[in-house]
Structure 1
Amino acid sequence: MRQYDLSPLYRSTVGFDRLFNMMDQMSNVDNGTGYPPYNIERTGENAYRISMAIAGFGEKDLTIEVKENVLSIHGEKTVEDGKERGEVLYRGIAERSFDRRFQLADHVEVRGAVLENGLLHVDLVREIPEALKPRTIQISTKTDAKVIDQKAA
């Protein structure tokens, strides 16, 4: 992927820092790796689900964090003391550490995460605050207007 230098835009814009930071982050998110694979699906009008294939990882090996509209999912396999494993002749199940980040839109909240059958499901919901929702304004006619005080000149 090409790298773009956005520094000339910083000196001629005000308040767009977050937009430029998002563009920088998006260019550096995956670093070319596709591990672990994931799906993003819409489950409702304002509901989404991220599903990640993380075979071999348990709940204690995963960390999910949301900070400044960035969902971070980190996995690191811990070695259990006292548990001996046999000699591995072929390793087809990846147990390498990973750090996957997703940029969330405004007002998108994480509702929960479930680990089942080697898949991590993270449920997201967009909830727009009442103050930002469209509202209907009543229109009155001139005949509805009341005259409070009328004096002759």
Structure 2
Amino acid sequence: MAEDTDIPSLVLKSLKSNPRGLTITDLSKKLHKDRNSIARCLNILKAEGKVESKTIGSAHVYWISQRIPLSAFLCFTRNMILIVDDNLNIVQANEHFIQFCNMQKEDLIGRHIIEDMIPVVSSPESVATITSTKGDHVMNEIRYSTEKNNLFFKMELTVR
């Protein structure tokens, strides 16, 4: 069984040395393992986000993933980011948005963006944009008024 535990590291090492990618058969021959073990391992690595694949003809070509984890993206951007689920409940927010709202992250997560009056996103303009979005990607200018001043934001929505 110890032999099975090193298959993922061997697969990743082989894929790193072949940036154009390899098929299951190529990996199987290169690592001297059966195709089923390699396929199972690749499915797990794909679910973990470590590899990506593309179907070319009847073969699946796998390569090392170049994606940035969402948590890293949220930390390193200067934009305010809010991630909501299908029911418009907040799933994730980055530090810039949390500071702007002057709230704790624990108090923000799970709240409904329309019912709970979250700054900027609960404004009538924002709600209209969010609820009318039919496409995959929408950009809109949003004006948000506070007691002291008017703030203008560029709102981007991506529907998944």
Give the TM-score of the pair, scaled to structure 2: 0.24
Higher strand share: 1
Of structures 1 and 2, the larger Rg is shown by 1
Higher relative contact order (CA 8 A, sep 6+): 1
Higher helix share: 2
Give the TM-score of the pair, scaled to structure 1: 0.25
